[in-house]
Copies of this chain bind each other. A is one copy, B any other.
Amino acid sequence: MARLAHGSQNEGRQRVLDFITMYINDNSVPPTIREIQAGAKISSTSMVSYYLKDLEKANMLDRYKRRSRGVVINDPGRVVARDMVSVPLVGVITCGAGPVPTPDADALRSADDRIQIARSLVKDTDDLFALIASGDSMIDALIHDGDIIIMKKETDVKNGELAAVFLTEKNESTLKRVYKEGKRLKLKPENPTLKPFYVDARFAQIQGRVMCVIRRA
C-alpha cells in the first residue's frame, strides 16, 4: 500500500505542475523556483526542488540543470510554436464572380487577421495567404460558404494540382485541378460526379495553388 505522510504530497506536486503550465501560458517563459514556491503555495524552495525532482522522474517535465527557469513541461498534446505557421488573411473570394485577389508582399505582412495552421499541412510556408470563400458557387470544388482557403502564390502548377485559374474571357476565377494537354488546359472539378472542361491555355492564368482548405462547422 502506498504510504502517505503529512499532507498527501501528490496534491503539492499537482499544484506545482499546474502552476508551471499556467505561468508559461501567461508569460511564455517558465517560472523560477521561487516563483513556483509563491504561486503554487509551497512552503519552501527545497520543497519545490523536491517536487520537481519527482515530476522529472515521473517524466512529466524536463529540466536543464543549474539554468534559471530551466523547466519544460512534457505534454504529448503540447503544441510547439515552431510547428505552426501564421498565414495572413487577405480577403474574400467569390469564385465564379471575378478574379481571386493576389496580394503583394506588403499586404501579406500587414494583414490584421491571421490563420494559424500546422506546418505539416502545407510543407512549404513561403508566399502563403488565406481567403474566405463566399457563396455557394464553389460546390464543384467541394468548397463551402465560409471555408478558409490557404493558397500559395504561384504562376505555374504541376499536372493534377488544385489551383485558382483566372479565365480572361469570362473575367472570373475558378478552383479546379489543372492538367496541361498541349495548347489547352483541362480543368477538373473536385467533385467526381462532375465533368471536366477545357480552355485554351492563352485565356487561362494560374493565380495560385490551393494548399489547404479549412471548414469551421
Contacts and interface: CB of A to CB of B under 8 A. Distances in A.
Contacts of A88: 77
A61 B210 CA distance: 33
A200 interface: no
A121 B117 CA distance: 10
A216 interface: yes
Contact of A162 (B70, B136, B213, B217): B217
26 contacts: A25-B82, A28-B72, A28-B80, A28-B81, A29-B29, A29-B30, A29-B67, A69-B69, A76-B86, A77-B86, A81-B81, A84-B84, A84-B116, A121-B214, A121-B216, A136-B192, A139-B142, A139-B192, A142-B142, A142-B144, A142-B215, A162-B217, A211-B217, A212-B215, A212-B216, A214-B214
Interface of A: 24-25, 27-30, 32, 64, 67-70, 72, 76-86, 88, 109, 114-118, 120-122, 136, 139, 142-144, 161-162, 190-193, 209-217
Closest 5 pairs (CB-CB, A-B): A79-B84, A116-B118, A213-B215, A68-B68, A77-B86
